[in-house]
A = this chain, B = another copy of it.
Amino acid sequence: MIEATEPFAMFAEAILPSDLPDALYMHLGAIAEQCELAAHEVQTHSGDAEKLIFIAQGSAKLVAKGAGEREQIIGFHFAGDFLRLPCPCEHSYTLVALEDAQLLVFSASQFVELARGEPGILQHLLDQSATMLDRSREKSIVLGRKNACERMASFLLSMARRIGEEQADTIRLTLPMSRREIGESLGLTIETVSRQLTLLRDAQIIETHGRNQVILRHPEELQKRSGWLTRAN
């Protein structure tokens, strides 16, 4: 019934303890809502409750919409991420696919209800929360105190950690987001993002190929330019 490539199997592999009772496994499978998104498609939440979303394939952005055209991208998410989407009644956040994606959507309350008896799951959820919180705090530093150059360097390093492919002493990135989306994430305009990339390219620190291939030639130099000493995954 369940193939290896199916979203729920990937979820179980990534998130659930291996010794989980079959009954609970089935229950979780029963409340999981599969959801396929085409690139740029918005995840539409059925109901108004808080959701837990596992990204089985593809990538997505969590967006806060403001008055007028203003949007702030709260974060990017990639395959394997397990994130909480606050209930839309309180915050106008939406999850939008960057490329074709497969999601698994849970009602947070249902999920926690089922997980109650399994401390392992709750603890994993707690760990995920901690990771998200750390990323968000890191973002506060970027947005609060860094200049354009430092933001760009921080962004590239962060992407390198999450989706970079190491090759010799360089790192190859295939960015699923546009310049505009990078800007909306970093609190910069598209023009500034473009200019900073040009500066880094001129300084031989990065190479760009096409619109979304970037090769980090000197990650350690990016590190220097990213400002601040604090650094971790």
Contacts and interface: CB of A to CB of B under 8 A. Distances in A.
From A112, A126, A140, A187, residue with most partner B Cβ within 10 Å: A140
B66 A134 contact: no
A84 interface: yes
A167 interface: no
7 contacts: A66-B141, A91-B232, A93-B230, A136-B137, A136-B139, A140-B140, A143-B143
A114 to B, nearest CB: 11
Given A123-B122, A126-B126, A129-B130, A140 B74 contact: yes
Interface in A46-87: 50, 64-67, 70-72, 74, 84, 86
Interface in A90-147: 90-93, 112, 115-117, 119, 122-123, 125-126, 129-130, 132-134, 136-141, 143-145
A67 B227 contact: yes
Contact of A72 (B125, B132, B145, B187): B145
Contact of A126 (B72, B92, B112, B134): B112
Given A134-B91, A145-B72, A229-B92, A122 B126 contact: yes
A38 to B, nearest CB: 26
A143 to B, nearest CB: 4
A139 B76 CA distance: 16
Interface residues of A, number: 47
Given A116-B123, A133-B133, A232-B90, A140 B141 contact: no
A5 interface: no
Interface in A130-171: 130, 132-134, 136-141, 143-145
A228 interface: yes
B66 A227 contact: yes
Contacts of A122: 119, 122-123, 126
Closest 7 CB pairs of A and B: A90-B232, A143-B143, A144-B187, A66-B228, A129-B129, A136-B136, A116-B119
